[in-house]
Amino acid sequence: MSEILLATNASNPEVVGSYKFDSSAEEKARQLPQPKGYRILCAIPEVDKEYESGLVKADQTINFEERLATVLFVVAMGPDCYADKERFPTGPWCQQGDFVIVRPNAGTRLLIHGREFRMINDDSVEAVVQDPRGIKRAN
């Protein structure tokens, strides 16, 4: 089976959509959740699989680095992000396409097509960085 049908009610099903396992990259992009309210959907940049010396990292180490990532890429923003002029008098702190710094474990973790994403609140953004390479969480 290469498709799952999504229904609204188990006792009286009405098909509202489907999920295809063998989707193209374009179809997968359309399957990303659309943030609502003041939420921001962020992707976690890929973690290096090797240390600088060439030694391969253990899967547990890679998982740890992804889970505690502090640099995220802004994929999409909800319609109410930074709309409160009292809380954000200088305007938005970030925009779609920015790399942002957040606290480790910030937001809701989502695994979509084998890739980790986070849904964070607009006030979780602590900084915007132009080039995230070289920025690592301090131990």
Tell me whether residue 94 is in a domain: yes
The residue range of the domain holding 27 is 1-31
> What was the pLDDT predicted at 1?
44
Pair 65, 117 in one domain: yes
> What was the pLDDT predicted at 128?
96
From residue 73, give the alpha-carbon distance in Å to each of 32, 45, 52, 58, 131.
14, 7, 23, 24, 11
> Is 110 within 8 Å of 118 (Cβ atoms)?
yes
Tell me whether residue 57 is in a domain: yes
Tell me whether residue 137 is in a domain: no
> What was the pLDDT predicted at 7?
47
Segment 72-104, tens digit of pLDDT: 999 999 999 999 999 999 999 999 999 999 999
**How many helices, marked H, and strands, marked E, lie in the chain?**
2, 8
> What was the pLDDT predicted at 55?
93
Tell me whether residue 135 is in a domain: no
**Low pLDDT (below 50) residues in the chain:** 1, 4-5, 7, 16
> What was the pLDDT predicted at 98?
95
Nearest alpha-carbon partner for 121 in 94, 97, 91: 94
Total number of domains constituting the chain = 2
pTM of the model: 0.76
Pair 15, 40 in one domain: no
Work out the number of other CB atoms within 10 angstroms of the CB of residue 47: 14
